[in-house]
Chain A
Amino acid sequence: MSTSYTGHPVLDPRFAPPFPTAALPVLRNPQLRKNVAHATDVIQTKRARLVAEKSDWQQLRTTAAAIRSHALDHLGDYLEEFETRCTAAGGKVHWASDAAEARAIIVELLRQEQASEVIKIKTMTSAEIQLNPAIEAAGIHAYETDLAELILQLGEDEPSHIVVPALHVNRSQVREIFARRMGLKDLPDDPKALTAAARNYLRQKFLTIPTAISGANFLIAETGSVAIVESEGNGRMCLTLPRTLITLAGIEKVLPRFSDLEVMLQLLARSATGERMSPYTSLWTGVTPGDGPERFHVVLLDNGRSPILARPTERQTLRCIRCAACLNTCPVYRQTGGHAYGSVYPGPIGAILTPQLMQMRRAQSLPYASSLCGACYDVCPVKIEIPKVLLELRSQVVNQERRSIAQFGDFMFIGMKAANMIFGGARRFRAAQWLGRLALRPFTRKDGWIHNLPSLGSKWTQTRDLRGLPDQSFRQWWAARGKEER
């Protein structure tokens, strides 16, 4: 496992190492941290400016949260309504209960098209189900067409952000990847030339490859329409030019009505990229004769979403519209970047979504990858109370551990029992203070800090310093002070 831009990170929660371990290489990579800090600073500044100009921002958030909650409360009805409308408009709706089924459906559709190549719009859901390896295994080559996804695909890297997936890669790294993979020796490293290289590389593919795969920002139950928000126009290319379009969407993406977009579209781009609207928002409904694809498939993906609906605190997780504002503002994400989360959904939303999609059987370290500062809630356009969900998930993890550990052999259990005993009486507490001061003295430097502890204590000091115990406790100081005054 490596989380550097040169290695290939593991973004599968089934195999990824725990967050603290995965974060270490990033924390030791100043270039990577600089790239992440720069990108998140730029987006946050733009976002803050545009949110400030909206006097009704809080009202929009409140309505958006209510629309999304309402859609989830009645999800079964809205999914069926979407299916009916989309089918009536010439689309074909498929249902995939898990990742394997979604992959199988899509590969089968590609086989029916006799596709040897397919063009793709950025879709985190396809990364979630690891679609590309399955397509390649079927002998079909997938071309990512979003600039950031193209950088990652050619660089054999993985996304580290939901909206700007290659934000950890800088221009000279992009230049190196493009020069090597596109055979452009003399490519300069300015973003304009790099973007032009991507345009040239993809142009003929848009015009000739007859099959495309997309995700979805919103499904509209009332009309059976799908909406996609993007910037580059690669999305419009994939949605318009091919003969066949396959859209993969999580079941939670449904909005009841077309007019709900009047709220969501005001929030999404401002939160995601700090723009009033993204350059292109596309809306289509089934198949339109003479305009766009002749065949349209929607694959509705459950893959661990439906159990989340049953839980009162956690249901709000599924309101998420994937704007990534919580990533940009998170003091933890801003230090570690995305790969440390071991999931295509990093940051605060990933910390609650990933373990739940894994039915709390994997990624149990993620609910702890937070300082609970609440910045994620403040920026969330659909008001997901991420800290509250984090705490709920932490309690579930603790309960799991409580059930699973061999209690008396476990040092955490013994430690907690001991702490309980020590804090239970003043004399015991004073004795422990005295003992602790004695034990820690050899490790305390002149500046009063402890940088390295042996054995179990190293679990603390490998990632942060520990304040040494002062020579005098507060109670001792207070007692001494009283004496002096008398």
Chain B
Amino acid sequence: MSTPSQSRRLILDRVRSATLKLPSSEPAPVGLPRDYIRRGKLGAQDRLKLMIERLREYDADVVECAPKDLPAVIGAQLASSGRQTFVAPTGLPPDWLAAGFVWKIDRELEYSEIEETEGVVTMAFCGIADSGTIVLHHSETEGRRVLTLLPDWHLCILYASQVVETLPEYFDRCPKPPSLATYISGPSATADIEMTRIKGVHGPRFLNVILVRDEE
């Protein structure tokens, strides 16, 4: 076995001598053909309709509400879940933490403490209607990654103004590449046994979305 730096040089030398032998056939990234659809064509209403439709295809539960009703709707969703103990990231507005439930705020909670909770409430960075995807960049309102992983029930607050139609439109909304991101498209699932789709393997089994109609 060669030393670490030898292998590095060996591999890079092999790669470079191989690629030099065959000059580049493709121009720089900016010059690549990009004729695919970047911007969606749907109006605002249809875009949100598509987002809801896609989420429901994944068996996600979606409700809509006006901004002023949000705390009440959160409370109603928590109550109808039949669960008691919830965890929330530090950045969530205090009036969203509905009374009558046990709340744990994620100030460096141990994994075992998060595992004991029954659900999690977070915001999102973006929603992508075309694929029904919820984007988390794991800010203080979206929570660190473990928060939306261990609890079995995830309630995500998504604002209508955060919903884009196409995946490229999400990339346009990133001021710079995120260092952490999770794209959630429906609850965890598997089709490994005879291609039968089973919901809920290791990630949350239930994904609930409140779409806040803040666009007016």
Contacts and interface: CB of A to CB of B under 8 A. Distances in A.
Interface of A: 35, 38-39, 42-43, 55-56, 59-60, 62-63, 66-67, 69-70, 72-76, 79-80, 89, 94-97, 100-101, 104, 145-148, 151, 164, 166-167, 170-171, 174, 191-192, 194-195, 198-199, 202-203, 206-207, 220, 222-223, 225, 231-234, 236-237, 239-241, 251, 256-263, 265-266, 269, 273, 275-286, 288, 290-292, 300, 302, 306-312, 315
Instruction: Name the prevailing secondary structure of the A interface residues.
Output: helix
A207 B114 CA distance: 11
Given A75-B15, A259-B177, 9 more contacts: A62-B33, A164-B192, A206-B202, A232-B189, A232-B201, A263-B36, A277-B133, A302-B11, A312-B22
Nearest to B137: A283
B68 interface: no
29 contacts: A56-B35, A70-B27, A73-B25, A95-B7, A97-B7, A97-B10, A101-B1, A145-B202, A146-B192, A147-B190, A151-B192, A164-B195, A191-B193, A195-B200, A198-B201, A225-B179, A231-B190, A231-B191, A232-B201, A233-B201, A237-B202, A251-B11, A284-B179, A285-B180, A288-B180, A309-B19, A309-B22, A310-B19, A315-B22
A63 B30 CA distance: 11
A66 B33 contact: yes
Contact of A73 (B10, B19, B191, B200): B19
A80 B201 CA distance: 37
Interface residues of B, number: 75
Interface of B: 1-2, 4, 7-8, 10-12, 14-19, 21-29, 32-37, 54, 58, 108, 111-112, 115, 130-133, 138, 144-146, 149, 167-168, 170-171, 174, 177-196, 198, 200-204
B19 A76 contact: yes
A79 B16 CA distance: 11
A306 B11 contact: yes
Given A66-B26, A171-B194, A273-B191, A59 B35 contact: yes
B182 A281 contact: yes
B21 A147 contact: no
Contact of B182 (A145, A283, A308): A283
